[in-house]
Structure 1
């Protein structure tokens, strides 16, 4: 069985945190135990669950998705199943279209490797604010005559909507792995910052002992980065909350926070320098070549490398014609 997770661009903090959480094998097992229909779960041989580093994403999908793959077999059979994990922080009109891209990639890989086609169970983990409406794929073909329905590829997916779980259910009833509990609690509440900040200490309390272990500290660093990049909660408040619970966690929190703040300052300085260079180039082009020179701005504004912009700025100064500048674009 392959377990594959996907979502929006890897730079999306929700996706990055999801990927880091589900890179922990025990978290995946706990998630399956807590959310899968019993008739499916009992068929899985979780002792065979191992990480597979293959990717089923092509260049087109890389702009929007990331993936994690595990392999697993069914009990009593040498039957491979694929579980496709799609993480969503927003409601999608027709999720089947994105899922189909993955199904095709998986099956194409089966053919290429001369394997039998492997059944796929798509699973969507959703923690957005809007209501998620589960519909059949054929429902999107409005007004279709029933005689044509047989030409529509029909398949289902399993939805785990975190809004359907209370905080207490996530903490005490559904899941058992500390890192998974904390991750899902943060993701469930991340769009209600007042609620999240109010409950932060209670969420972290779950990891009091876990944050004294090396694995727990690595996870805690991921948590701090997630909260820093996806909320407006002051990183100092997060670190102080952790310090009240774990001495080692507090030390790591202070170090991580300092790195994040410094990184933010550096990125801010670089961004400011880029904007300054673009403004200087725009002024130079207008003074030297007028309206025709400003036509190059659309391409120049897509450049984010300081070194390249500096080279263009110098070229504008010494160029004899616009062609000399265009060679750098």
Structure 2
């Protein structure tokens, strides 16, 4: 999906379910039994489709996957689109938002001459602290309009609230990184509890297949919580040795990347200011220890009005 996803929850979910093995574990854990009976989750795959408007594309992250039905009696496989949307806070008009996704999805199929249409199953995942029972479409209207209910569309979707699960139940849902991610999200609204759960979250990661996902989890964890340095050091010391080594290695790497990013931002600002004052490129390179290519890039963005 094009655009920058600014919300750490959206960015993390996009990263997490971007791994098809994690996505498969996720739907194995949360899809109702009657759907798992007909869906061949072993053949789940990502879809390039996005049902978010261009206006919202920079701030939201829908995730669309497609999955065939189990083949029966030699019949052709039919794909279902699984539309994943998640919220960290309740949203009164969620049924309208999902309804918009659905009709955009079906309009897209009509535009591409898909006939018969392929069903789209919306899946809403919620991990916020506040209690939330999503309102149905007809619950958004006042009582005087009840006689018009037959004209109000019924928008149905699957809804899963991670707060309804105990920590033990979450551990039974799956294993490894997905379990750690779900535990982290369960306590995003309670920073002190999240800090207390540090070892529960990271000690279960005795092995992993995707280092990038582990890095995403660590970045996400520290995006939503601040832990005093000495306390963090004590928590890391209690991790299993293999996880402690990896955690420290990743933390050092992220700190270095952070320092480099900060230095790059400062150099960018300084270069821009010097160019505005008419300082020539060789002098800027000498003073700031940047490359001529870096100065050219800053100049080009200035000329573009950025």
TM range (shorter): 0.7 to 0.9
The number of equivalent residue pairs is: 279
Query: What is the Cα-based RMSD across aligned positions, in Å?
Result: 3.4
1:38 pairs, out of 33, 37, 43, with 33
Q: Equivalents in 2 of 1:238, 1:106: separation in Å?
A: 45
Deviation at 1:101, TM superposition (A): 2.4
Partner of 1:89: 88
Note if 1:229 corresponds to 2:223. yes
CA contact (8 A) 1:56 1:67 kept: yes
Q: Equivalents in 2 of 1:265, 1:18: separation in Å?
A: 26
Partner of 2:189: 191
Partner of 1:256: 250
Q: What's the TM-score, normalizing by structure 1?
A: 0.72
Q: What's the TM-score, normalizing by structure 2?
A: 0.77
Equivalent residues in 2 for 1:145-184 (5 A)? 145-172=145-172, 175-184=173-182
Partner of 2:110: 111
Gaps of 5+ in 2: 272-296
For residues 102 and 242 of structure 1, do their structure 2 counterparts lie closer, same or farther at Cα, with a shift above 3 Å needed? farther
SS of residue matched to 1:121: strand
SS of residue matched to 1:42: helix
Partner of 1:21: 16
1:50 pairs, out of 21, 45, 48, with 45
Deviation at 1:95, TM superposition (A): 0.4
Partner of 1:136: 136
CA contact (8 A) 2:30 2:160 kept: yes
